[in-house]
Structure 1
Amino acid sequence: MLLVAVNALVGGTLGQERTILPLLAGQVFQLDLYTSALTYILAFGVAKAATNYFAGTFSDRYGRKPVLVTGWLVALPVPFMLIFGPSWGWIVAANVVLGISQGLTWSTTVMMKMDLVGPERRGLAMGLNEAAGYLGVAGTALATGYIASTYGLRPGPFLLGAAFIAVGLGLSVLTVRETRHHAGTEAAAHVPVHSGTHAGLSSREVFTLTSFRDRSLSSVSQAGMVNNLNDGLAWGLFPVLFAAAGLSIERIGVLAAVYPAVWGAGQLITGALSDRIGRKPLIVAGMIVQAAALAMVAVGADFGIWLAAVILLGAGTAMVYPTLLAAIGDVAHPHWRARSVGIYRLWRDGGFAVGALLSGVIADAYGIPAAVGVVAALTAASGILVAVRMRRADHISAG
């Protein structure tokens, strides 16, 4: 539960940007092209994706707690860069730093919970972890929308992020304990789920297995990437779309908060559900639901339709997000599970960068609804690929 609280603070640190930065790009820095405005998500996604990989490797080598504390230390300058940044380049640089911090902190809370709970409740643990993180994102997105409407886009919203970082660092240093030895205990009784997933693999072999060779691991990796591709679109272009339709900052803040709120709260149910019915059905259904929600955003034109769409998008993402992480934990051997999680998160958070670039280019050329429609089609295709390629019974029955 301490790690759940820490990850809520990790999510809050990210949530300080969700409502504000898309508006900051246009209203303060006068960025007209969507591709230019989305550079901060591209920078965040590349930095976080790369750091996820190293977080897994460093956690295996040095332990989980040192990586977690380092992530909080890296985050310290972010709110001040966002508050005082005189140019858009400062905002992009702040998101590089934030991406590094998020890669270290969020990845480590995932690994530590996997270490602690064992295989039978892995979905429940991932649901708790991701629910805490995205409820933190949602609550902060909503709070910063109201703060900005009263006090302006800077500095008020980012002072909340500074407080989260201070508390998260204090908790991680003073109260969090190392969990790596639990993975060693689990490894002694581990029964491989698939052939080729034995203990003695090099980092290169783990990368190729997770990314390409294993049908289940690679299916999960591509689905994670597409999921965050559409989240990058939602983060960067939804507030711009809503503002262009005449919605107030308060209403934009509500829509920006409802999506991760449903996503976060829903994972309290879907994570545990995947322990019972398996990972594959929830992943496939979740990707299809997301695609339908994105299609609603593309054709919608008012607050009511968009509210229904973001609720549906949050529900679909809740079905997928903890389930994908649990599926990685099911297949990966405890000796290299942290590395496999890091590689999955490399692909998944690389989706932020791909989504920002792809949706920005399409939006510049054809408008935001066209960009949303293309991403909806990609999301549906990803779900179909999981249905065809992923093995069916990937929840652990053998300890």
Structure 2
Amino acid sequence: TLAWAVLTLWPGPATSAAPRRRAVLATLALAGTAGLAILPAALPLDPVPAGAATTVVAAIQGNVPRARASLADQVSDYQTVTQNHVAATDKLAQEVSDGKLPKPDLVIWPENSTEIDPTVYPPVYDQIASAAKAIGTPILVGANLQNPQRNAGVLWLPGTGPEPHYYVKRQLVPFGEYIPFRSIISKITSLTQLQPVDYTPGRSNYVFHLGQIRLGDVICYEVGFDNLVRSDVQDGANLLSMQTNDATFERDGQTGETGQQLAMARIRAVEHDRAVVVASTTGYSAIIAPDGQLITSSGTWQQAELEARVPLVSYTTLADRVGPWPEYVIVVLTVAALAYAAIRQQAGRRRTTPVN
């Protein structure tokens, strides 16, 4: 915006030097704007304390059937997805039992790893309970809860079952998890029946307490909203997770959406100096270090079990302390530049309008 304003509206005599001067000023404006954009990344990260506590975390990518299920086969398809995550967790448990891997302190399953509410459907409840028993570790399960319909992260404890408190997705996907202006749109098209019941959004964040772990969770594209992730850190989260299901976007071979989400998760790691566990049904899944580096990651359309030791950091970063104010300042400056440009342009037109 600043560069455009300089190039088009900067006053000056009509000389051969004027275009060159405008170009120089535009370059300076662009450089200044870019500097504001990259300043947070240029600032040194708070170093992870040498004596920081650590924990072993695991991400399970169970994979899903590649072909789209018909309405008649959806229940069977959902059961297969859950069973895939059980099988991958059992495989991880066997590797732990064989001494190939350390026992994780927490296992993360992705969004929609159970599309059927396990609290009301005993077979799914038993499947998850068996996986938790095999690994002997709490599992954060991505569950579709009913009555009302909610997209949730439910902590499942071995031998105990789901905790009564869980995280419910707050930022729902329009036309995916709810239909805005449903009553009006339904009069125009019947496609609203593809999402017959709107999901109910969560009202607040929830930080899970597991020993020394304070886990803050976001679901799918919530990772793109600054305030949602920041609220977990401000409430004491020393570890972050993102549960996601990108299968719908990847069935035609594209990976842009899941790659974008992974990049966002890496930005969140740097922004808050926290390790981030990304669990996806079909990939990419990853465990990310506080500096944004990938400790381990998976491909797409494959079953994977990821495990890594990560630091648990409790201090707040500059981004946490400043909050959204840099964004507000940039928006205000942009609006002011647009207004100034419009005023100058209008004034220029008046000067050049011939008088009869």
- For the pair shown, the structure with the greater C-alpha radius of gyration is 2
Specify if TM > 0.5. Answer: no
Q: Per chain length, whose mean CA-contact separation is higher, i.e. which structure has more relative contact order (CA < 8 Å, sep 6+)?
A: 1
- Structure richer in strand, relative to its length: 2
- Structure richer in helix, relative to its length: 1
Task: Give the alignment's TM-score, normalised by structure 2.
Answer: 0.30
